[in-house]
Chain A
Amino acid sequence: MGLHPSIAIENGIQYHPAMARTLADLGPSQEGVIASIEGDDGISHRLAELGFTPGITVRYIRRAPLGDPIQVGVRGFELAVRASEARRVVLA
């Protein structure tokens, strides 16, 4: 699975909290458990209100044909988020 740069970092030595794995780093059909939502603005609050809360499993389904946004699943429903938003969803 060494396709994504941050996964490679995680599998290697240099793990740094600032480079924590996020929803945007998952590959198609991969899942992760939410650790936290980065940021303190309207976008991160809206993500939380939609159900992206710590401890919940998120699923990366696939990317749009033009590379962005990403189709993801959370709490039994699916939605489209841009990669810039998915990067705020930090995984455990």
Chain B
Amino acid sequence: MSAANATVEQLATPPLGSKANPCVVAVIGNPNTGKTTLFNALTGLSQHTGNYAGVTVDSSLGTFTEGDTHFLLVDLPGSYSLTPRAPDEAVAVRALIGSGETARPHVVLCIVDATNLDRNLFLLTQVLESGLPVVVCLTMVDVAKREGMRIDYRELSRRLGVPIVPVHATRRQGISQLKAALRDSAVAGDAATARVPLPKPIAEAVDGMIPLLNSNGRRSRFLAQRLLFDRDGFLDRELRGEIPAAARSYADAARQRLGQAGFALPGVEVAERYEWIRDLLSDSVDDGSGARFAWTRRIDAVVTHRVWGATLFLGAMAFVFQAIFTWAAPFMDAIDGAFGALGDATAAIVPDGVLQSLLVDGVIGGVGAVLVFVPQIAILFALITIMEDSGYMARAAFLMDRAMSSFGLSGRSFIPLLSSFACAVPGIMATRSVEDRRDRLTTIMIAPLMSCSARLPVYVLFIAAFIPPVTVAGVLGLQGLTLFAMYMVGIVVAPCVAWVLKRTRLKGPPVPFLLELPPYKIPSWRVVLFRVYDRSWAFVRRAGTVILATAILIWALSYFPNRPDITERYDALRAGAADAAAVEELDRREAGEHLRASFLGQAGIAIEPLVRPLGWDWRIGMATLASFPAREVVIAALGTIYSLGDGTDETSPELRSTMRSATWPDGTPVFTPVVALSVMVFFALCSQCAATLATIRRETGSWGPPIFTFVYMTTLAYFAALAVYQIGSRLA
């Protein structure tokens, strides 16, 4: 900030670099430059994902101190250019400009990949024009050296007029020098001065625009320049009305005039910068042999090969699936068991009644239902991070792009959808790598259609109970086929939904698919472990609070009004019971009757006319309502409603046989294979998961997408179940 900007308010704030007023460092760089690794090395565990004031997408924030100076690091989205092509990219530019609540950073840390100087310096030349102090961090220096490049850092630093610090983030070399350089820059506050000279007519157009902006100092020149190059208006929109109409029309007219004079923007800007960079590098860098990354080429000859690449890809996907289901199982059982034991222990201490029920069924049961997914999330994120950090993920997107583009998405959406087979929550979080806003929203809204691990117990219960274990065509088991078909329901429906969304609500211009295929490297264990910790904890914290509240609500609805007349009647019956077994049977029946009389049970009876066409009775309807917080709750709910009490799981033979013998008032059985299919199809398509909806709300920043997702999925599920029952029962 220049002294002229100082106001009374600013004089009253604590000194810059104190804990209350830390030096803000914006971290910017091309994608795949090791930005995350560096961010982790600088801030360690003192970072979190949060909303930086005014920035709408989540950015990672981190803190560190150097000497007695406090720093706040803001990780901006990876960008190739400060001329935005998408709303998300405009966020990075806006952060450098500063607007509204977002203060301008004190220092910009620009990450430059030493093995890819041309393209990385392109962004740097734009950042240098920001009028802010700039520090360059050079990554992949060791790789560049191994590949035969020789870089004259001192010459490069002199020509660019900014400090350049080479680092090896995974080995933590150069980190302390980088921190010192950031402190020195923050203290001195000297803005970078190197400029790519622009052709005179363009420079004059920038000069003419400055007085039209309500800005001053170095910021105004940067702002004028960026607006002039922002032909598609993304930056203008991101700045939300800060730009006066006069400046806007001036920029439009200037671009047109310049275009006619042979200085078409932004094309001329790009050409000038690359020319300047070529001269710069010819003086400071010896490129070596030129044949770089021999290993990556050799690996790619297999990994992106027509036959071997596709085979390897299918193998890798099968491995991920297998790992999520088998490796996680013992941990999930352990967590389940621990919460069960905790519930039993609590029940032994707390006397029977409202408090016991609230603690055991509401709190412990609700929290346990969330935490049981942590092992799957941890394993999934470990595997995804390994694939990302090694460079394989970009190849997976490359292999799948053609298939995804047939329904309007790109290869980038593939991994989030794959993750959603474990759990839609991490899948939705993984959509951050989808650059285009419309593609990202579409991916978020179809991700919950992938059959997640919480649907599996529902399928297992109904298939075991109602699908006969016969063989079809001599080899295939009908039960296995049904399970496969349930997974296919989501796989078939999701592309159709995406296709419709991309043609209606989320229609937009075609998005280019320009995906960098970075050189392969050994994944950093620090990055993998940090991501697993970060994502697992985020899941526990965010979803845990929401699902806990919902679980308590559902508990209350299924417990109250807890009519005393029912309790009294059963107390009298129990007094006359012959043996312990008879008492137990009476306890079960009492629980069932209380549930029927509860608010939730009453709601189930009220909606029976609505679910009758699906072949369901009020009990299935009620269980479905109760399973709003989490699908797998339907099993416990069915268990209770069929008067079996607690301790029911999908493999318990009692639940299966009781469900088989359940009848309508006229004596015909409730459950037939067709009804079972109708229930399963409903659960395959519905969005009965509070954690997913909360995550969608969190990731999109508004209530529209989760509400839309819930409504369309529930409607789809209802009509699909209706079709299955109505057609199936006529065929049967």
- Whether A and B are associated in the same complex: the answer reads yes
B-binding residues in A (CB < 8 A): 40, 42-43, 45-51, 53-54, 61-69, 71, 75-82, 85
Q: Indicate if the CB atoms of B514 and A80 lie closer than 8 Å.
A: yes
- The complex places the Cα of A56 from the Cα of B616 at a distance, in Å, of 67
Residues of A within 8 A of B270 (CB): 45, 48-49, 53
Q: Indicate if the CB atoms of A71 and B119 lie closer than 8 Å.
A: no
Decide yes or no: A45 and B119 within 8 Å by CB, A80-B401, A85-B512 being known contacts. no
- The complex places the Cα of A42 from the Cα of B270 at a distance, in Å, of 13
Q: Indicate if the CB atoms of B118 and A51 lie closer than 8 Å.
A: yes
With both beta carbons as reference points, the residue of chain A lying nearest to B118 in the complex is identified as A75
Q: Indicate if the CB atoms of A65 and B512 lie closer than 8 Å.
A: no
Residues of A within 8 A of B264 (CB): 40
Residues of B within 8 A of A77 (CB): 115-116, 119, 516-518
Q: With an 8 A cutoff between CB atoms, is B571 at the interface?
A: no
- The complex places the Cα of A13 from the Cα of B542 at a distance, in Å, of 67
Write 15 A-B pairs (CB below 8 A) sorted by A numbering.
A40-B267, A45-B83, A48-B270, A49-B83, A51-B119, A62-B304, A69-B398, A69-B402, A69-B411, A69-B515, A77-B119, A78-B517, A79-B517, A81-B513, A82-B513
Beyond the given A43-B512, A65-B306, could you list 14 further A-B residue pairs with CB under 8 A, ordered by the A residue number? A46-B81, A46-B512, A47-B512, A49-B80, A61-B300, A62-B305, A64-B401, A66-B402, A68-B402, A69-B411, A69-B513, A79-B515, A79-B517, A80-B398
- Among B304, B512, B516, contact of A42 (Cβ-Cβ < 8 Å): B512
Q: Indicate if the CB atoms of B516 and A79 lie closer than 8 Å.
A: yes
Residues of A within 8 A of B518 (CB): 77
Decide yes or no: A68 and B115 within 8 Å by CB, A40-B264, A53-B271, A78-B516 being known contacts. no
Q: Indicate if the CB atoms of B513 and A85 lie closer than 8 Å.
A: yes
Q: With an 8 A cutoff between CB atoms, is B535 at the interface?
A: no
Q: Indicate if the CB atoms of B514 and A46 lie closer than 8 Å.
A: yes
Decide yes or no: A80 and B517 within 8 Å by CB, A42-B232, A46-B85, A50-B80 being known contacts. yes
Interface size bracket, B side = 35 or more
Q: Indicate if the CB atoms of B310 and A65 lie closer than 8 Å.
A: yes
Residues of B within 8 A of A42 (CB): 85, 232, 509, 512
Residues of A within 8 A of B394 (CB): 80
Q: Indicate if the CB atoms of A81 and B514 lie closer than 8 Å.
A: yes
With both beta carbons as reference points, the residue of chain A lying nearest to B515 in the complex is identified as A80
Q: With an 8 A cutoff between CB atoms, is B292 at the interface?
A: yes
Residues of A within 8 A of B274 (CB): 51, 53
- The complex places the Cα of A77 from the Cα of B531 at a distance, in Å, of 27
- Among A63, A76, A85, contact of B118 (Cβ-Cβ < 8 Å): A76
Q: Indicate if the CB atoms of B401 and A68 lie closer than 8 Å.
A: yes
Q: With an 8 A cutoff between CB atoms, is B470 at the interface?
A: no
With both beta carbons as reference points, the residue of chain B lying nearest to A70 in the complex is identified as B398
With both beta carbons as reference points, the residue of chain B lying nearest to A79 in the complex is identified as B516
Decide yes or no: A71 and B267 within 8 Å by CB, A42-B232, A46-B85, A77-B119 being known contacts. no
With both beta carbons as reference points, the residue of chain A lying nearest to B273 in the complex is identified as A49
Q: With an 8 A cutoff between CB atoms, is B397 at the interface?
A: yes
Residues of A within 8 A of B305 (CB): 62, 65
B residues 72-124 in Cβ contact with A at 8 Å: 80-81, 83, 85, 115-116, 118-119, 122
Q: With an 8 A cutoff between CB atoms, is B399 at the interface?
A: yes
Q: Indicate if the CB atoms of B514 and A79 lie closer than 8 Å.
A: yes
B residues 503-526 in Cβ contact with A at 8 Å: 509-510, 512-518
Residues of B within 8 A of A45 (CB): 83, 85, 266-267, 270
- The complex places the Cα of A85 from the Cα of B264 at a distance, in Å, of 21
- The complex places the Cα of A45 from the Cα of B305 at a distance, in Å, of 30
- The complex places the Cα of A48 from the Cα of B274 at a distance, in Å, of 10
With both beta carbons as reference points, the residue of chain A lying nearest to B119 in the complex is identified as A51
Q: With an 8 A cutoff between CB atoms, is B705 at the interface?
A: no
- The complex places the Cα of A63 from the Cα of B399 at a distance, in Å, of 9
- The complex places the Cα of A42 from the Cα of B508 at a distance, in Å, of 13
- The complex places the Cα of A53 from the Cα of B399 at a distance, in Å, of 27
Decide yes or no: A64 and B119 within 8 Å by CB, A45-B267, A77-B516, A81-B513 being known contacts. no
With both beta carbons as reference points, the residue of chain A lying nearest to B292 in the complex is identified as A76
- The complex places the Cα of A54 from the Cα of B274 at a distance, in Å, of 10
With both beta carbons as reference points, the residue of chain B lying nearest to A69 in the complex is identified as B401
- The complex places the Cα of A40 from the Cα of B103 at a distance, in Å, of 34
- Among B80, B401, B517, contact of A46 (Cβ-Cβ < 8 Å): B80
Residues of A within 8 A of B118 (CB): 51, 75-76
Q: With an 8 A cutoff between CB atoms, is B180 at the interface?
A: no
Minimum Cβ distance to chain A for residue B448 (Å): 26
Residues of B within 8 A of A64 (CB): 304, 398-399, 401-402
Minimum Cβ distance to chain A for residue B720 (Å): 29
B residues 550-592 in Cβ contact with A at 8 Å: none
Q: With an 8 A cutoff between CB atoms, is B12 at the interface?
A: no
Minimum Cβ distance to chain B for residue A30 (Å): 15
Minimum Cβ distance to chain A for residue B196 (Å): 14
Q: With an 8 A cutoff between CB atoms, is B673 at the interface?
A: no
Minimum Cβ distance to chain B for residue A27 (Å): 14
Q: Indicate if the CB atoms of A50 and B119 lie closer than 8 Å.
A: yes
- The complex places the Cα of A43 from the Cα of B514 at a distance, in Å, of 9
Residues of B within 8 A of A62 (CB): 304-306
Decide yes or no: A67 and B402 within 8 Å by CB, A45-B85, A77-B119 being known contacts. yes
Residues of B within 8 A of A71 (CB): 300, 304, 398, 517
Residues of A within 8 A of B334 (CB): none
Q: Chain B, 305-342, contact with A by CB distance < 8 Å: what is the 0/1 string?
A: 11101100000000000000000000000000000000
- The complex places the Cα of A71 from the Cα of B391 at a distance, in Å, of 14
With both beta carbons as reference points, the residue of chain A lying nearest to B117 in the complex is identified as A76
Q: With an 8 A cutoff between CB atoms, is B203 at the interface?
A: no
Q: Indicate if the CB atoms of A48 and B401 lie closer than 8 Å.
A: no
The 8 closest A-B pairs by CB, nearest first: A66-B402, A43-B512, A48-B270, A65-B310, A80-B398, A80-B515, A78-B517, A49-B81
- The complex places the Cα of A71 from the Cα of B270 at a distance, in Å, of 23
Residues of A within 8 A of B397 (CB): 80
Residues of B within 8 A of A51 (CB): 118-119, 122, 274
Q: Which residue, of A49, A62, A63, A81, has the highest number of chain B Cβ atoms within 10 A? A: A49
Residues of B within 8 A of A47 (CB): 512, 514
With both beta carbons as reference points, the residue of chain B lying nearest to A67 in the complex is identified as B402
Q: Chain B, 377-399, contact with A by CB distance < 8 Å: what is the 0/1 string?
A: 00000000000000000100111
- The complex places the Cα of A80 from the Cα of B400 at a distance, in Å, of 12
Minimum Cβ distance to chain A for residue B725 (Å): 38
Minimum Cβ distance to chain B for residue A83 (Å): 10
Minimum Cβ distance to chain A for residue B436 (Å): 11
With both beta carbons as reference points, the residue of chain B lying nearest to A75 in the complex is identified as B118
Residues of A within 8 A of B399 (CB): 64-66
- The complex places the Cα of A66 from the Cα of B406 at a distance, in Å, of 12
Residues of A within 8 A of B538 (CB): none
Residues of A within 8 A of B296 (CB): 78
- The complex places the Cα of A82 from the Cα of B122 at a distance, in Å, of 23
Q: With an 8 A cutoff between CB atoms, is B483 at the interface?
A: no
- The complex places the Cα of A34 from the Cα of B522 at a distance, in Å, of 34
- The complex places the Cα of A82 from the Cα of B398 at a distance, in Å, of 10
- The complex places the Cα of A57 from the Cα of B270 at a distance, in Å, of 17
Decide yes or no: A75 and B119 within 8 Å by CB, A45-B83, A53-B270, A62-B304 being known contacts. yes
B residues 47-92 in Cβ contact with A at 8 Å: 80-81, 83, 85
Q: With an 8 A cutoff between CB atoms, is B403 at the interface?
A: yes
